[in-house]
Amino acid sequence: MSTLPPCPKCGSEYTYEDGPSLICPECAHEWSALAAETPTEGDKVIRDSVGNVLQDGDTVSVIKDLKVKGSSLVVKVGTKVKGIRLCDGDHDIDCKIDGIGAMKLKSEFVKKV
């Protein structure tokens, strides 16, 4: 029994390794063996604006002025946010910003420090 993943294109179970790649003999699809080791659909990976993987407790920097909805406050570019928490939903970062308080941010507006 093979422990290789099935082909992501056609679902064939007859995949084989060729160096760092995996190949499907039925549809000739090739993909990286490293891509097969990435987390499954159930494990959501949250990335910052440049593609770095974010984790709980990371420090991030805001890359764009962000208006705080319902107030006249603005989170300025370059504001560092320490000890983020990842959460589900549209805004995937839960944090506390000095001078503003608890907020939720979108990962597309931050960069890992």
pLDDT of 78 higher than 90: yes
pLDDT of 85 higher than 80: yes
Q: Please name each of the domains of the chain with its CATH number.
A: 1-38 (2.20.25.10), 59-112 (2.30.30.40)
Contact yes or no for 56/39 (Cβ under 8 A): no
pLDDT of 81 higher than 90: yes
Place of tokens 């910052």: 48
What pLDDT score does 36 carry? 54
Q: CA torsion, points 32, 37, 42, 47, in degrees to nearest 10?
A: -70
pLDDT of 70 higher than 70: yes
Section 3-32 average pLDDT? 86
Stretch (H or E) spanning 112: strand 110-112
Of 46, 44, 55, 42, residue with least CA distance to 106: 46
Q: What's this model's pTM, rounded to 2 decimal places?
A: 0.62
Neighbouring C-beta atoms of residue 93, cutoff 10 Å: 22
pLDDT of 20 higher than 80: yes
